């Protein structure tokens, strides 16, 4: 009850913050190509073997293929269309200078992990809160948590983990559920965070105080999970521990 008189002050603070962000993204700044990440996913991460995923850009086809399926082919084997690292939907939405690499990793016992790195372009609109896209694809976020990943010679890396649930209709009155997870963190020049808000604040600070805008990336790790167990976290942590030194800039 005593906080009611303070509400106008919170409104003013919120408006000031919004104004600062608008100013930060409207001033003339030096846009650099510097990024804190290597845009190259290794062929092997620990016990996991990776293959690149390529997509047909022909609107009438739009199939996806594993690198090994193509046997060196540079066009779609089904329709002859152009192949790309991005799907047609991604090509249509993302700015043309957006960078993207993606691989599917398979363990000896058949477990699968998908990894992608998205690097913002000049417009810096390539990066957004992953939650928006996941919900738009029909995923339900049942839990979110920050998981620390121990790394050699430095403090742990904080990774945001989303437990997901998707329901598929298989027949009238019947549905099937698929449980998965989506883990990610953002990387800028000399900066890492699992927080979209913190990334936006850092971007605004660079623009206002340093008159510069660096390229940001986000790294995403996705896989299946048992809805009744958190064992997948151990697998994810181990994978990120092995992947990190392969993609991080020195």
pLDDT tens sequence across 176-192: 899 999 999 999 888 99
Same domain? 166 vs 244: yes
Q: Tell me the C-alpha distance between 89 and 191, whole Å.
A: 30
- Please classify residue 78 by burial: count the beta carbons closer than 10 Å to its beta carbon, then call 0-12 exposed, 13-18 middle and 19+ buried: exposed
Residue 59 pLDDT > 60: yes
Same domain? 89 vs 151: no
The reported pTM is 0.83
Last residue of a domain, one of 69, 103, 137: 103
Q: What is the mean pLDDT of residues 223-233?
A: 96
In a domain, 173, yes or no: yes
Same domain? 79 vs 138: no
> Strand 48-56 relative to strand 44-45: parallel, antiparallel, unpaired?
antiparallel
In a domain, 229, yes or no: yes
53-57, 99-103, 185-189, 205-209: range with lowest mean pLDDT: 205-209
Same domain? 152 vs 214: yes
Same domain? 247 vs 143: yes
Same domain? 132 vs 95: no
Distances in Å between the Cα of 202 and the Cα atoms of 65, 208, 209 are: 38, 10, 10
Domain range for 80: 40-103
Q: What is the mean pLDDT of residues 49-59?
A: 96
In a domain, 204, yes or no: yes
Same domain? 58 vs 175: no
129-138, 204-213, 219-228: range with lowest mean pLDDT: 204-213
Same domain? 135 vs 242: yes
In a domain, 79, yes or no: yes
Same domain? 237 vs 155: yes
Same domain? 141 vs 226: yes
Here the tokens at position 119 are 């690097």
In a domain, 22, yes or no: no
Same domain? 137 vs 220: yes
Domain total of the chain: 2
């Amino acid at each position: 009850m005593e906080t009611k008189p303070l509400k106008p002050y919170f409104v003013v603070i919120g408006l000031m913050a919004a104004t600062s962000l608008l100013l930060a993204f409207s001033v003339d700044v030096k846009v650099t190509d510097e990024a804190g990440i290597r845009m190259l996913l290794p062929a092997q991460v620990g016990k996991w073997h990776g293959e690149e995923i390529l997509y047909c850009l022909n609107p009438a086809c739009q199939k996806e293929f594993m690198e090994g399926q193509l046997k060196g082919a540079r066009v779609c084997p089904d329709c002859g269309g152009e192949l790309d690292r991005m799907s047609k939907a991604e090509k249509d939405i993302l700015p043309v200078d957006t960078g993207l690499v993606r691989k599917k990793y398979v363990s000896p016992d058949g477990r699968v992990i998908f990894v992608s790195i998205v690097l913002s372009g000049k417009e810096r609109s390539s990066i957004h809160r992953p939650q928006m896209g996941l919900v738009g694809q029909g995923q339900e976020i049942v839990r979110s948590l920050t998981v620390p990943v121990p790394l050699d010679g430095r403090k742990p890396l904080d990774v945001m983990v989303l437990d997901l649930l998707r329901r598929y209709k298989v027949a009238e009155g019947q549905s099937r559920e698929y449980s998965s997870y989506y883990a990610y963190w953002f990387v800028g020049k000399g900066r890492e965070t699992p927080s979209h808000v913190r990334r936006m604040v850092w971007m605004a600070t660079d623009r206002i105080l340093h008159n510069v805008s660096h390229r940001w990336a986000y790294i995403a790790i996705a896989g299946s999970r048992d809805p009744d167990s958190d064992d997948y976290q151990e697998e994810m942590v181990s994978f990120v521990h092995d992947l990190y030194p392969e993609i991080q800039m020195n």
